[in-house]
Structure 1
């Protein structure tokens, strides 16, 4: 099996520890355990002291499955399967369903798993391209042209990584109607929950009987360190996934499950904290773009990733390399997503880091 290098991960693996101002991440400012315990007023360490460090619950504890099922209108708790982050959830779904010769349609640019894993499994992958001129929306008419009688799956990032674009309920219902005509699955990586309440967002598992929602606590819930994600599907798909899951993962681990339950049981407090970060930082970011030459952006709808367009003398890859070397500001170059001339900018970094990093970036752009 051959597979291309994972652009964004290869970049971060090499460079993220070098950064003074890390504006490359798409997580909303990560919790420390101390901060989480203070926010929830729950001393989770007392329970950990009594917990045997065995394998724990294989598919996720009953509490975890129940709390995740509350995020959906039509998914039973038994059909929630815990995974190693959303990357594990995407891998599980693709590994279980895609075979050599299958036709897969993937939004592009997108999270690289969603098109390169199908290609590595021998699938014929067609790109459904986002249009910057249309606020990074894809064209539904293009999907109609791409769909085939043998299309096995449509893969989408909603909200999109790197652009932050959200495909609303009406648009996703059109996708479902097209997929249903040929019996295709729709896999949607939904790790970025929108905080813009004007956007009518709906998970695919609630819209379509062959919809596969993947998600995690890494982005919206600020807990990437525990590596907990899940698949949410109908009962038939959950049963199929169980067999393949046994080959890719035993369990997330006792501590990770317990921390995940703490976050989910205090979801309102966590989301209130993160909504404030998103809204405040997005205003800072918008004001910065408005007054900074040589940069523009189709702003995200209250999600934690953004994709800025850069006007630089060098390629965006070289610019980001030089920027990090000279200033300590870390972005992800657009080349990591096959979109040169851009960069992913994680504006949901700690607010002081964002302010200082943007000031340094503006000065560097002016000197370029």
Structure 2
């Protein structure tokens, strides 16, 4: 199996460590470890290796699935990997732009048809999905809310996509890692029926990326096959991550209310900044990511990002990493003071190049 380099992660590996401001961070600012009991009592394996049955039942119930239909993973990234290893034999349909692993992994395993979202609305047309599905399509892949645009496809749209999938005997895999940042989240895809699969975790919405804790929820046969693959990857979720994530999930209402308020304030600040500079954006309605259109005078997103990095030591994500070279991704979930510093430096850069 060959897999293409993960363009976004390679970019971050090149530039992030030495930059002053990370203005492309894709999660909510991290919560303090002091808010939790961080002593799991011992650093052995989580037993059973799929995750504690009671905790899996709690997360599963949130997705209208049982403990046996829920598998804990090392972040949402592993959940997606296990799903693709389980499902993709021939063909996948992927809605783009999207996070790089949602195209890179299925492309390493089979053929992929991309269904593009387009500016300015970045809306998903269920009929476009229907037109892309082939008799041998194994899975349709949607990130909802979308990364990088921050657009949240509504319940009617996702239900229509699911029905197209079910009619063909095709699974619908939805990466829902930002879903709980919505004030009124729509039902998870895993709850839609036999062909619905959801992946998620505590990294983005909860502000707990360092726990490396996620989940895969879906049909029992799919979960059993994914668990078989997991025996060859990480075996079990991290003990400390499991321990703290359970506390976070138990207290999710207060944590998410706090994080939603933080994100909403930062979004308002970013929108005001962009209006002042006349920059077009994807107008996100959920999550902490947005696409900004590259101003005139630059060859594309990477050119803009490299110039900004060189002059102001600020990191944005080039649109080339999402196959959209006319755009860059900005993250606005970070600590407010860091956001202000980043916007101030971005403003100075735009003033010089305006």
Task: State the partner residue of 2:62.
Answer: 71
Pairing 1:11–2:11 present: yes
Within the candidate set 187, 191, 204, 2:177 is matched to 191
Structure 1: where are the runs of 5+ without partners? 38-43
What does 1:1-368 correspond to in 2, within 5 Å? 1-34=1-34, 36-37=35-36, 44-45=37-38, 47-48=39-40, 51-57=41-47, 58-72=49-63, 74-99=64-89, 102-121=90-109, 123-133=110-120, 135-193=121-179, 195-197=181-183, 201-293=186-278, 295-314=279-298, 315-368=300-353
Length, aligned pairs only: 351
1:315-336 CA-partner distances (Å, limit 9, x unpaired):
2202111211211211101111
1:30-62 CA-partner distances (Å, limit 9, x unpaired):
11212x33xxxxxx14x44xx122112211123
Give secondary structure in 2 for the equivalent of 1:163.
coil
Structure 1 Cα separation of the partners of residues 59 and 24 of structure 2: 28
Asked if the contact 1:323–1:329 (Cα under 8 Å) also holds between the matched residues in 2, the reply is: yes
Structure 2 Cα separation of the partners of residues 62 and 259 of structure 1: 16
Task: State the partner residue of 1:40.
Answer: none
Structure 2: where are the runs of 5+ without partners? none
Measured at CA, do residues 339 and 260 of structure 1 come closer, stay the same or move farther in structure 2, by a change above 3 Å?
same
Structure 2 Cα separation of the partners of residues 234 and 196 of structure 1: 25
Which stretch has the larger CA shift, 241-250 or 225-234?
241-250
Measured at CA, do residues 93 and 14 of structure 1 come closer, stay the same or move farther in structure 2, by a change above 3 Å?
same
Asked if the contact 1:312–1:319 (Cα under 8 Å) also holds between the matched residues in 2, the reply is: no
Give secondary structure in 2 for the equivalent of 1:55.
coil
Give secondary structure in 1 for the equivalent of 2:131.
helix
Asked if the contact 1:221–1:271 (Cα under 8 Å) also holds between the matched residues in 2, the reply is: yes
Which structure 1 residue ranges, 4+ long, deviate > 6 Å from structure 2? none
Structure 2 Cα separation of the partners of residues 251 and 242 of structure 1: 10
Structure 1 residue 189: deviation in Å? 0.6
1:305-351 CA-partner distances (Å, limit 9, x unpaired):
11111214122202111211211211101111110121110011111
Structure 2 Cα separation of the partners of residues 194 and 69 of structure 1: 15
Asked if the contact 1:28–1:304 (Cα under 8 Å) also holds between the matched residues in 2, the reply is: yes
Measured at CA, do residues 200 and 79 of structure 1 come closer, stay the same or move farther in structure 2, by a change above 3 Å?
closer
